[in-house]
Each structure stands twice: as C-alpha cells, then as structure tokens.
Amino acid sequence: MSEPAPDAPAAPAGEALREVFAPASYARAVPYALFRELREHHPVCWIEEPAVGPWPAGPGYWAVFRHADVSRVLRSPELFSSHLGGTQIRDPATPGDLAFVRTMMLNQDPPAQLRLRRIVAAAFTPRAVRELEDVIEARAHALIDAVAARGEADYVDVAADLPVWTLAHLMGVPEEDRLLLYDWSNRVIGYQDPDHAHSATADPATLTPMGRAALALRPGAHGPDDRPLDPRSRAGLPDMFAYAHALAERPRPGSVMARMREAGLEHDEFETMFFLFAVAGNETLRNGIPGGLLTFLQHPGQRALFLARPELTASAVEEVLRHWPPVMDFRRTATRDTRLSGARIRRGDKVVVYHASANRDERVFTDPDRFDITRSPNPHVSFGHGPHMCLGAHLARVQLRAMLRTTLERLVDLELAGEPVRLTSNLQNGLKRLPVRWRTVR
C-alpha cells in the first residue's frame, strides 16, 4: 500500500479519518463536522482504503475538502485525470475492467471526451429541455395525484419514478421495461448496500420480449472465480448491455438511442454511453428529490417561504443541491508530481474531491450549514466543475423543481411518519426510505 509523502501535512488519525472512506458511516449521516475540521486544518489529507465486505483494500488516496482546491482539481484534467484510473474511489478489479470504463465519457479527458460530449449534448440543450418541461410537470402531478388519497407513502418510491420515467422517455425505452432502468441503477449505485445490490423489481411477466431476453442474462453476485462481480464492468451488467444493443436495432426516431446509433460509436463506447444514461442519468434525481423533501421538512420556516413565494423556486433548487449534494465525491488520478494545499502528490496517486465538503466551505458560503433558499450567489459544485460539468444539469433542475413544488403544494400538512433510512454508500448521498404522511382532502 502506498503512503503519503513525508512532508504531507499531519492529519488526525484513527477512527475519525476512517469515517471519510467507510460506506457505513454515511448510512448514519454525512460527516459534515469532520469535513469542517479537515477543511480548516487538513484541507488535503491521506485517507486509508481498507477492505469493505467482499471488496479488497485499496492503496489509499488524497482527499480534497476546500472549495477552491476541489474546483482546481476538476478544471485541470491535464494534471488530475479522469482517464488514468476512472472516477470512482475503488479501482477497477482488472486491467480489462479499467480499459472498459475508460471508454465512458465520464472517464475520459479532453480532447477525446469532447467528441463524446458533443454527441449527447443535443439531448440536453435548454431548448430540448424546455420541450420536456410540460411533460415532466404533468408526470409529477400524476405521481402525486396517484398517492394523494392514501395519506401516507414512502416518498423514495414515489419520487424514484420521475427520473426513471424521464430517462425512458428520452432513450425510447418502452414503458413495460422502465423498471429495468431502476434495477440497473440500484445495482450500480447501491452495490455497497445489501438492500440495493441485488435489486430485482422488474416483473418478467410484464416486460417486452426484448426485456425478458435481457433479464435472462442477468448474472449472479459472483463470477467464476467466486469473486464479487464489479457492477461497473461488462461482466457485471451483461443484461443491460444486451438490452442496449437490442434497443439500438429499433430506436425510436429522435431518441437518444437514435442519436447514438447515427453517431457511429464504437462497440465499447456505445455500451458505456448507454450505461451513463441509464445509471448516472437518474441517480442524481433519485437522491436529490427525496433529500430535498427531507431538507424542507427539517426546515419548516424555509418550507413556508418556498410555498409563499413561487418566484424563489429557482434559488431554492440551487440551495437544495448545495445542502444535499446527490453525489458526495469524485476521483481523479495525478498525471505528474504536484502540490495541493501543502500536500505533495505523486504521479499516479488517487485524488478524491468531496463535493459535500466544498458545498459547506466557510470561505465561500456565509453560514454554510444553514439552509437558505434565498442564498445568492450559490456557486455549489454538485454538478461538478470544468470540462465534466454535468450535461444533464438543466434537466435535473426541471425535475427537482416540478417534483418538490408539486409535492409540497398538493400534500397538505406533510410530515415525517418515521425515521428516514440512508443508503450505505461513500459516493451517493441517498435515502432508501422516507416515510411521510399528510392530511387527505376530500
């Protein structure tokens, strides 16, 4: 296991630093108090990477906590590469797995990344998203209307439908196969959580023949060597990739799938682009919408202000994204020896930026732990920064706006009906359950 450079700034030892990496610590809460201490005294520090369950130990990494340093890393691909080792903390299990994930747009650096980015950019222009706004708004209303008479629900289940439905609409996935997207996303983003790692909500009886054929290829939890299958690898998702190729044979005109086929992507590029849409395209909203609602329920004054002043909707969405960042961190790899806030980083070291910490940096945000929907300016980094700034950010904002306003306006006297349950993940800031109740209106 590699070690930090001898002149790296000293950092707290023991249990405190283990919280930064340990997925189980995020099942309790994001360690914002620890992040605050590290921003102040150890803004770039070395984090050990012990084994977690069946997943082996890693070499460790440099964690970056201040807003300025996070922004520098994200806007400097020539120094901090997405391509060398991918963008997840844990290294791909094999050289073959690394080669495969490197074909994904998320795991490339300019100029190669720009070619793939241009291919999908047309799906997310402001004009294209505006054309979807009314459809998304109507879907949000339908989802809330469907549960309004019940008086209670698990809001995670209610909210999860909107991003999955929106993606299916964009990609041309038949309605019958929509839950396949839900399961694939669960398996990839929730692999550290036993409740999500083996998600299987799609009913074979209701799938299209194309969906059933793909489902038959779903692998078990382990490969032939009895090691756990990496959910980011081709071996871990043969059902998803088989479905992608089948769908590409008859894409709906104008859909993202049709654009991808017309662009002439190479085989691996096509598969990883489908992966990016099917998984990364919905996890932000599946985390952000329930997290946003919980934040409002915990801040009744801000909730009342949100309802009283619709003109604050846009700034409220930005504050939700800052206060509850759907993705907590991303990894880069140093391309050469360098320094960052006093730490001497070696070529090949992993460098992990913590959006969740940068969004609470006292150097940028006044009273950063306060939820304030009037906050302006609000330069959060929840959608990244630099060349990998999220292409789907505008679409995500539209869905957050539609779902949160519809929920809070239509469900009267909405309140928690039990303890929220967080996802076990050191990447995704998610909820598995959010029980709520409200007064039914006749």
Domain ranges in the chain? 15-439
Give residues with Cβ within 8 angstroms of 396, minimum separation 6.
284, 285, 288, 383, 390
Q: Give the pLDDT of residue 14.
A: 61
Q: pLDDT value at position 302?
A: 98
Rounded to an integer, what distance in angstroms lies between the CA atom of residue 218 and that of residue 213?
10
The H or E element that residue 353 is part of is strand 350-354
Q: How many Cβ atoms sit within 10 Å of the Cβ of residue 374?
A: 12
CA–CA separation, 30 vs 386, rounded Å? 25
Per-residue confidence (pLDDT) for residue 75, from 0 to 100: 97
The reported pLDDT for the residue numbered 155 is 98
Q: What is the CA radius of gyration of the chain?
A: 21
- Superfamily of domain 15-439 in CATH is Cytochrome P450 (1.10.630.10)
Residue 194 CB partners (closer than 8 Å, separation 6+): 424
Q: What's the confidence (pLDDT) of residue 2?
A: 46
Chain centroid to CA 226: how far?
A: 29
Give me the tens of pLDDT residue by residue for the chain, a chain 442 residues long: 344 544 545 556 567 788 999 999 999 999 999 999 999 999 999 999 999 888 889 999 999 999 999 999 999 999 999 999 999 999 998 899 899 889 999 999 999 999 888 887 877 778 888 888 999 999 999 999 999 999 999 999 999 899 999 999 989 999 999 999 988 888 887 777 777 767 788 899 999 999 999 999 988 766 666 677 777 778 888 999 999 999 988 888 888 888 888 887 888 888 888 888 888 778 788 889 999 999 999 999 999 999 999 999 999 999 999 999 999 999 999 999 999 999 999 999 999 999 999 999 999 999 999 999 999 999 999 999 999 999 889 999 999 999 999 999 999 999 999 999 999 999 999 999 999 999 997 6
Which pLDDT does position 267 carry in this prediction? 85
Contacts of 308 (CB under 8 A, 6+ apart): none
Query: What pLDDT is stored for residue 221 in this prediction?
Result: 66
Helix (H) or strand (E) holding 345: strand 343-345
**Residue whose pair of structure tokens reads 């991918």 in the numeric block:** 86
Exposed / middle / buried, residue 310 (Cβ in 10 Å: 0-12, 13-18, 19+): exposed
Residue 92 CA: distances (Å) to CA of 38, 174, 350: 28, 32, 13
| Chain Cα centroid distance, residue 223 | 26
DSSP state of 334: E
| CA atoms of 269 and 260, how far apart (whole Å) | 10
User: What is the residue whose two structure tokens read 């405190």?
Assistant: 16
Token pair, residue 68, equals 């300025």
Q: What is the chain's percent helix, strand, coil content, to nearest 5? A: 50, 10, 40
The model's pTM is 0.92
Query: Which backbone phi and psi does 70 adopt, to 5 degrees?
Result: -60, -45
